[in-house]
Structure 1
């Protein structure tokens, strides 16, 4: 109980739960659209944006670093689009190229900054690789809350159009829905959440916060609205549990604890959910028995 009432736990839990709830819902759209790996590439590509923003202002200011991450996330996506549209490189190849190139650039810039006496206060930039939610501040929570509210508001405003676009792009175009605009909206809210979530779970683990809740939601339901809700709630639950484990335990990082909790929920759902292995196996046996 002492952990639950501590100021540090409240701040970290609030930030991670809000991020995971919004990330789970937005990530579900990307997964259903078959663009989950784009989120992975963009997540890695945002890291050099953080380092460049630090190099320009000289201090680790939350909002400026997030802006740098957003900018490089957009550049990464546009690079992916350019490669796939103007070359014979497949989407998988473009994602691999952008992910490795941008993340390599970030690591190179990081090495340069840390070894340069002209830059001071570089401690903590490495946290954006693997995440360090334990050092979240009120300003980080405010930023995450603002980004999450904006993303969920946009999702709610274009809910019907996005749903139609995901399940039937041809009908969507026929119905007068701008598919390019829908794709841009999905991209914007995804990059926004990735950028503000880097400090919590890091560039490497952020994609799990987008994909795993979506998988859980789809295993438990086929209704789009219910899948979104389950994804958001499962993400928030994993964030709360992971934050509690890392706060109550010793030498347990918050980001990995959240991801491991989320992965455990996904594994349980994979076996026990209505669309899971056990339920499907029972259904097949019953159908086989009835046929015989």
Structure 2
């Protein structure tokens, strides 16, 4: 165990995934409370063609270039969703499904094209961005995750009060001069940034779980917004550490899925034993029945 914890590969991967999960847990809580968690899912899938396009333009699997390509396509996907919902009769859930499938399908088509084209070399690692391959994270990947996470948390902290008012009372926030569209775009821009830098760790398909599961856990244990944020960030970080350890200690266990499984176990535990859990409510109903 000590050998694993002190190993260079484990430390690099664990450091990156823990920071990513902590930031994602906090930022994702806003989207979950606002009922926009599925937008993150659609954007996560939509970033994949951005990675392939960036590779086609640059010619190498450069971490910053691929993340920038994912970020740009993520923003395009979000704007496309807004355009569809505001200028047509298509509902939000239908728009999300259309964008998710269309953009991800584009990414898979582009992937097939570059893999079968002799003009593009080094395409093997691109498929790792679908399901993630944290074991192959480099120091540059971790630096990018740290920079994006710190920037995201810094912006969130600076606008904490405005975001809090915008989440829980959008009418009042407008009356005191807070721009709700700006707050909405800022939160989603931060979310897309974390998705873009986290694709190599957990992949386009699983990244949304880092945004949703910690927020669900936080809401099950507390009603106070700040406490929910801290619980979400902490449980995300703990799950990332445990999942990375399981992946490193086991054979042929991918880090991203291991982290998601640990987070899922935390969700199940919280659903059963938290202050809002099934067992707690069952006991309360039983006591209420006995008293009547």
- The equivalent residue for 1:192 is 193
Once the two structures are superposed, the pairs formed by residues 1-292 of structure 1 within 5 Å of their partners are 1-290=2-291, 292=292
CA distance in 1, matches of 2:267, 2:116: 41
Higher mean Cα deviation, 92-101 or 162-171? 162-171
CA distance in 1, matches of 2:44, 2:166: 24
Deviations 1:267-291 (A, max 9, x none): 000000001111111122222333x
Deviations 1:43-81 (A, max 9, x none): 000000000000001000000000000000000000000
CA distance in 1, matches of 2:83, 2:286: 49
Corresponding residue SS for 2:49? helix
TM-score (norm 2): 0.99
Deviations 1:173-197 (A, max 9, x none): 1122110111011111000000000
Corresponding residue SS for 2:210? helix
Deviations 1:135-177 (A, max 9, x none): 0000000000000000000110011111111111111111221
Structure 1, unpaired ranges of 5+:
none
CA distance in 2, matches of 1:135, 1:92: 35
CA distance in 2, matches of 1:280, 1:197: 37
CA distance in 2, matches of 1:98, 1:286: 49
CA distance in 2, matches of 1:239, 1:90: 35
Paired residues, number? 291
Corresponding residue SS for 1:119? coil
Corresponding residue SS for 1:124? helix
Deviations 1:16-49 (A, max 9, x none): 0000000000000000010000000000000000
CA distance in 2, matches of 1:264, 1:47: 28
Corresponding residue SS for 1:125? helix
Q: Runs of at least 4 residues of structure 1 off by over 6 A?
A: none
CA distance in 2, matches of 1:253, 1:141: 17
